Structure 1
Amino acid sequence: MRRRILLRLSQPLWLYTALLCASRFDVRRGLERHWSSERGLVSANLDITLPTLTLSEEEAALLGKLRGRIMWYAEVNRKKQHYYEGRQAVRQLGISVPPQLYDLAVSVGWPGTICDVLEERLDWQGWTSVADELDGLDEIYRDNHLGIEASRVHLDALITGTGFVTVGRGDISAGEPEVLVTVESSSCATSIWDYRKRRATAALSQTWNELGQIVLETLYLPNETVTLARNADSVVNATGTGNNKSMIVVDRDQHNLGRVPVAQLRNRDRAYDLRGRSEISRPIMYYTDAACRTMLGMEVSREFYSAPQRYALGAEPEMFGVSDESTVDDRILAGWRAAMGRLNIIPLTEDGDMPQVGQFPSAPPTPYIDLIRTYSQMVSAESGIPAPYLGFSTENPSSADAIRQAEYRLVKRAERRQTNFGQAWREVAFLALLIRDGKVDRDFFRTIDVKWQDAATPTRAAAADEALKLTSAGILTPDSTVTYDRIGLSQQDQARVMDDKRKARLNGVVDNLKNASKNVQDNNQFVAEVAARKVPVSAQ
């Protein structure tokens, strides 16, 4: 949305040039200009198009829709994050546990383990190309530290079901990369997804301060990016409540890319629900809460029933220091003395009978442990991670084949995430090239793909044995980058190995030339005589 105005200028030319550049004015045409070299003034009628720092009705409606999505998902995401961090509020049944112990901070870290174990197998190593030409994508990967940033957005997508990556032009003078790639949390960003285009058609990201107030919003459109800031007197919190009209437009960047510079990573999406699904599902949350309640019951049992209960038949309370005048505190203290005393002396009764003293067997925690083990097996079945990862292991170590069989489903789930997330990272590559160059060669981009580390857990010996068999069979060449990738060499290691081999081949060529020359001299007397001749020095 822009407006056109007509200005009459009669000030120094450099001043208007600075104003036009600072305000991003678009000078369409000059109608009349008069220049005076003596005064250094310019007088001109200019038809100028100014960017409108207000939202249109369509933009305001779109912004409200995106804000509503963030508000709706914020509470759901907060709940999943609490389970991931082990800070969820567990609902108690209120039957066997005293209310005074409800606040006991019992926590089970299974939701965090489920997400972490899966994320640890999602090692994105950048982009690759069939033609070994990345057109600067490797530099974008290194400059933006995407090896670290990718891990963050992957984990966020596993916890909440989705994650976002924004691409823009960085401020080189401020030390930013030329193409700035930033990951966004799903708690402060959202988008509208186009199923046919397989990408976002609009997106919104919010920036909060330490008080939970929204201080900045960025509305991403196909041809324009609108930035809104909050007035100092307004109050808009992280839940979106408050005076949203206080967010005013402060900048419009008309990039005319024809594409929203936002990529979305969706976890476990399906045709019915394209928003993605968290790994912390409702069954996982229930099993976790049930395990927390069981552990709390085990804590109570330890306090009350782990010490053996004793009894005395035919004894009087006075024998243990308890009388009718004793207060409640005195009775409790006397009971602790009798239970904890190393030597208890009990006299005979008035009839001369010996009191009978005994104890009840203590209650073991075995039922609680068995119940927690049952919950862990149900969590393992729901999440696809091996049961030993949840804290229960057998006495005998598993064999290598048993470990691979137990991890088969986990590896397959990780490979599915690599496929889904890989499409988003290809979109990031397309946006990065589009923002840097203004256009993207479609034929070249078809050769670009993402590179992941193997999601399985092969040993170095197994990888080396596999590479040896493939090269021996002629399927792979020894110096191929594919072979180096199969044995786990990094890009730096591959470059050093190739450089060392290049030097070795060069040294071998030099040695072969020396040996060939020596053989010729030894076998040919004429050549030897010619080589032994001395060239006389001409007189000066």
Structure 2
Amino acid sequence: MPYGIDYCRNLLNTKSQRNRIRYQFYEMKNKAKDMTLVRNSQLDSIRSMLGWCPKAVDSLADRLIFKGWKNDHFNLEQIFQMNNSDIFFDSAIVSALITGCAFVYISLDDTDFPRLEVIDGCDATGIIDPVTNLLKEGYAILSRDKSGNTAKEAYFLPGSITINEKGKDSYTISNSVPYPLLVPIIYRPDAKRPLGHSRISRANMAIVDGAIRTVKRSEISAEFYSFPQKYVIGLSQDAERMDSWRAAISSFLQFDKDEDGDKPQLGQFTQQSMSPYTEQLRTFAALFAGENGLTLDDLGFVSDNPSSAEAIKASHETLRQTARKAQRTFGACFLNVGYLAACLRDDYPYQRRQFYLTKPMWEPIFEPDASTLTLIGDGAIKINQAIPGYFGRENLAELTGIEPGEVPTTGTGGEADE
């Protein structure tokens, strides 16, 4: 029995606010909460930002490059190519990494060909089937007005879509697809949270807030560092008071003796050091890098000695494992998109098990350099000597990410055939 559109609306309202906060961190629009000691109306105008959360998302998303399909018996490649596949895959992956789950709305265009639209987790939700990772029912906000209110919404059930548009009567579109035409794209799902986890975790947000406060304190201290505080002792009470700004920037100050022949004594407070803030910011960077499989070089703390390609790959081992996990999950989700789109295109309710031979293919997470290609070639030769034909054109292309060139055919005389 379906839960209904009202239940799905309330479910989206409970989740969308948290997702909007994550988008604020990704877009660097978040404002870190100041500690009580540094709260001041004159200091509120100082806004400090850090691009660490976008770095955590983009460093993983940029390495997830979808290549195509193996054993594509249902011609899924055509569906994705006709929907700007380069933009589609990147948009779905980035949105899923930010909110934990993005959604793909499948419909027919004017030529009755499947149309794929990515909807972020702030505007869509649903009841998921944990076995297939497809929805039992879904809800999505398709458009909003200038005030941000819902202008067009859709409620998805197997075989039908109900559209509610502001100022118009609702209508239902029927289809022969066995699942709702709203497909989740999930990052790191588990049994407790089948709709996944966000790359911008609570730990990441807390670390970034602490780092932003550190940057803000350093900017405040920089003012005192640039203009250290000075003092005068023994100045006569009858002396004319000097403007503080003129005293701070003047290159020459004159003080006369009083009638008793006494003269004032000048002094300067110890200048504040900026080193503690640099060390504290570096500590926050180390914590953030550890949470996301990055290095300090990725966050702007460049090391003196540049690393080789193998050293960079070794330092990003955690990121590589995370990318492998994401490839497996996203690959299954994109196959679900292709499966339902093929059902809609052919107007036939295919069974999901008919697509079990179709496998997603990805580009290598780290592009191999010349030395890596040499090692792969040497290893392939030795393995083929032990097991003839073990390495061929296809699996070497998957390993290196380089498509094989045309192999010239030769005649019996040793010359190339015309």
TM over 0.5: yes
Query: How far apart are the structure 2 equivalents of 1:127 and 1:221?
Result: 28
User: What is aligned with 1:42?
Assistant: none
User: What is aligned with 2:359?
Assistant: 449
Instruction: Supply the AA of the counterpart residue of 2:170.
Output: V
Instruction: Supply the AA of the counterpart residue of 1:411.
Output: R
Indicate if the aligned counterparts of 2:156 and 2:180 stay in contact, CA closer than 8 A. Answer: yes
1:173-213: per-residue Cα shift (whole Å, max 9, x none)?
xxxx7222221111111111112343211111212233312
1:312 is aligned to 2:232: yes
Indicate if the aligned counterparts of 1:477 and 1:483 stay in contact, CA closer than 8 A. Answer: no
Query: How far apart are the structure 1 equivalents of 2:104 and 2:122?
Result: 13
Indicate if the aligned counterparts of 2:364 and 2:401 stay in contact, CA closer than 8 A. Answer: no
1:211 is aligned to 2:147: yes
1:489 is aligned to 2:402: yes
Q: 5 Å matches for 1:100-499?
A: 100-129=42-71, 133-172=72-111, 178-207=113-142, 208-231=144-167, 248-250=169-171, 252-316=172-236, 321-322=240-241, 331=242, 334-437=243-346, 438-440=348-350, 445-471=355-381, 473-474=383-384, 480-489=393-402, 494=404, 497-498=405-406
1:168–1:263 Cα change, 3 Å: same
1:49-107: per-residue Cα shift (whole Å, max 9, x none)?
xxxxxxxxx77x51111111111112111111111111113221231343221232211
Percent identical: 25
Cα displacement (A) at 1:451: 1.0
SS for the counterpart of 1:100 is: coil
User: What is aligned with 1:28?
Assistant: none
Cα displacement (A) at 1:272: 1.6
TM-score, length of structure 1 as denominator length: 0.70
Query: How far apart are the structure 2 equivalents of 1:297 and 1:361?
Result: 18
Instruction: Supply the AA of the counterpart residue of 2:104.
Output: V
Query: How far apart are the structure 2 equivalents of 1:258 and 1:443?
Result: 13
Structure whose CA Rg is larger: 1
Cα displacement (A) at 1:314: 3.5
User: What is aligned with 1:85?
Assistant: 27
1:134–1:371 Cα change, 3 Å: same
Instruction: Supply the AA of the counterpart residue of 2:223.
Output: E
Corresponding residue pairs, total: 413
1:471–1:81 Cα change, 3 Å: same
Query: How far apart are the structure 2 equivalents of 1:440 and 1:468?
Result: 45
1:215–1:450 Cα change, 3 Å: same
Indicate if the aligned counterparts of 1:476 and 1:483 stay in contact, CA closer than 8 A. Answer: no
In terms of mean alpha carbon deviation, does 212-221 or 394-403 score higher? 394-403
Query: How far apart are the structure 2 equivalents of 1:441 and 1:113?
Result: 40
Query: How far apart are the structure 2 equivalents of 1:337 and 1:262?
Result: 67
Instruction: Supply the AA of the counterpart residue of 2:145.
Output: N
SS for the counterpart of 1:458 is: coil
Query: How far apart are the structure 2 equivalents of 1:442 and 1:313?
Result: 87
Query: How far apart are the structure 2 equivalents of 1:96 and 1:65?
Result: 44
Indicate if the aligned counterparts of 1:161 and 1:275 stay in contact, CA closer than 8 A. Answer: yes
CA-atom RMSD, angstroms? 2.7
Cα displacement (A) at 1:339: 2.2
Indicate if the aligned counterparts of 2:176 and 2:343 stay in contact, CA closer than 8 A. Answer: no
TM-score, length of structure 2 as denominator length: 0.89
1:351–1:289 Cα change, 3 Å: same
